[in-house]
Structure 1
Amino acid sequence: MKPIAIFLLIFACMVAGFSGAILYNYFSLNTAQAQLVQLHANAALHDKLINEPYQQERAEVERRQVSPFKMISLDSPDLTERQKYLMLIMSKIRDNWIVDDSMRGKECRVNIQFQSDGALASVSVLDGDYNLCVSGLSAIQKGSPYPMSTDPHVYDSLKNITTTLSPQIR
């Protein structure tokens, strides 16, 4: 074989090799870009699957905040000191109480006894729906200590409260 033919053969192989390498790199780059797009899509889906239920759950909890009594302003001149403290106690229970739709229309009667500093002395279920009572007891225990009047007569009227917890689910 003549030297020129050998040179052309070597040159053709080099060009083919470079072309193959260039094509390989081109397809590898396109594949990598497609994989990157897929990773971004998967990450967005992952965030949606993780964060969306949490956001929905948080919105649901806020929506289901309960109101065991009609709201009256604590600044109302018509309220006695006993009524104001009773409202503060019930408000603290409400703020810690989480209910769900299964508790709609159900009740739980509880007896709550307080120490003079507002700490719980005892809390007991008298009767009612089991799940609602468990939820209510948890809210009552989380709320301790409660605001308590320094007036001995008001404290005497509040140290032993029996109430019915009944969620008002909106």
Structure 2
Amino acid sequence: MKKSNYSKSVIISVSIHALFIGLLLWGADFTFEHKQSVGNTIQATMVDPAMLNQQAQQIRQQRQAARDAEQARQDRLEQQTAALEKQRKAEAERLRQLQADKLNAEKATREAEKQRQLQQQQAAEAKVKAEAKAKAEAKAKAEAKAKAEAKAKADAKAKAEAQAKQDAALNDMFSGLEAENEQRGGAKGKHIADEVARYGTIYKQMIQQNLLVDQSFKGQKCQLTLRLSANGLVLNVSQLAGNDTLCRAAKSAVLQVSEFPMPDNPDVVKQLRVINLTVSP
């Protein structure tokens, strides 16, 4: 296409210059003297060669200028075409990238929604399983509690009967001692009883600080027997009667105290070595 345009331009330029030379030649001063001819003699005016060379040089320069102008025009056209093609490709690449980004974003959104739905489904299934497990555990716990309470009641009854026998035996055993104390004087006996009551109150406060109370303990009771050493160390704590769960909590509270304060009076210490304690939150 470029060569065809160039050929057309050259042809047009040559035609113009040929016409121009023709006009120059037409306008040249050719003088024919109409004289009486003698024989066949012809006279003509000569054309200046320098002028023809100059005109030819001008024509060549004009042709070259036309070719240069055409080449420049073609170069500009090619540059514009290349720039437009580059711009077109850049725009096509931008649109392609936008489409790719849009597709990726839509894919990411679908994946996120799928993952969210999966998590919701898993959470719902886990909740159903957890609720079923909790119901089963609650049922098993209730059944075990019922069995334990039934067994506790039976054990408590047996322990209460045994304790009653033990208390009766202890009362018989220390009846003589009590009578002897009364004979020694009511003032000393009252002092010992007051000290025992005072230390008993202290012991209860120490135990209550470590007792973990639950709502299920309301209205329940527990009877414990504490056996202490002479310096107040807990040697043994046993359940006599009452709610098993409450008794376990009370035992734990006693064992956390570990050592109870003891008075200096050995008579009071003897009274505190074995303590029957009733816990009722």
Query: Is this a same-fold pair by TM over 0.5?
Result: yes
Per the alignment, in what secondary structure is the counterpart of residue 199 of structure 2?
Answer: helix
What is aligned with 1:140?
Answer: 254
Per the alignment, residue 12 of structure 1 pairs with: 91
Q: Give the distance between the partners of 2:83 and 2:242, measured in 1 at CA.
A: 102
Structure number with greater CO (CA < 8 Å, separation at least 6) is 1
The one of 257, 260, 272 equivalent to 1:158 is 272
1: distance between equivalents of 2:198 and 2:99? 85
Structure (1 or 2) with the greater strand fraction: 1
Distance 1:7 1:151 in 2: 111
Give the structure with higher Rg (CA).
2
CA distance in 2, matches of 1:84, 1:23: 84
Query: How has the CA–CA distance of structure 1 residues 20 and 151 changed in structure 2, closer, same or farther, with 3 Å as cutoff?
Result: farther
Give CA-to-partner distance per residue, 1:28-83, whole Å, 9 cap, x none: xxx9xxxxxxxxxxxxxxxxxxxxxxxxxxxxxxxxxxxxxxxxxxxxxxx94333
- Correspondences of 1:59-98 after superposition (within 5 Å): 80-98=194-212
5+ unaligned residues in a row in structure 2: which ranges?
A: 1-77, 110-192
Q: Secondary structure at the match of 1:92?
A: helix
Root-mean-square deviation (CA, aligned residues, Å) is 3.2
The 5 Å alignment of 1:117-136 reads 117-136=231-250
Distance 1:137 1:10 in 2: 87
- The CA deviation string for residues 68-100 of structure 1, in whole angstroms up to 9 with x for no partner, is xxxxxxxxxxx9433332222111110111121
Distance 1:98 1:159 in 2: 25
Task: Give the aligned partner of residue 106 of structure 1.
Answer: 220
**The residue matched to 1:150 in structure 2 has which SS?**
coil
1:22, CA displacement in angstroms? 8.9
CA distance in 2, matches of 1:108, 1:140: 13
Q: Structure 1 stretches of 5 or more lacking a match? A: 32-78
1:109 aligned partner, one-letter code: Q
Rounded to whole Å, the distance in 2 between the matches of 1:151 and 1:111 is: 22
Question: Any idea what SS the aligned residue of 1:112 has?
Answer: strand
* One-letter amino acid of the structure 1 residue matched with residue 206 of structure 2: K
Secondary structure in 2 aligned to 1:132? Answer: helix
- In the TM superposition, structure 1's runs of 4+ consecutive aligned residues that sit over 4 Å from their partners are 17-24
- Residues 47-62 of structure 1 correspond to what in structure 2 (within 5 A)? none
Instruction: Report how many residues are paired.
Output: 117
Change (3 A) 1:17 1:150: farther
Letter in 2 for 1:138: S
SS state of the match for residue 275, structure 2? strand
Match of 1:115 in 2: 229
The structure in which a higher percent of residues are helix is 2
Q: Which residue identity does 1:129 align to in structure 2?
A: N
- Alignment TM-score, normalising by the size of structure 1: 0.57
* TM-score after normalising by structure 2: 0.36
Residues 20/111 of structure 1: CA separation in 2 closer, same or farther (3 Å cut):
same
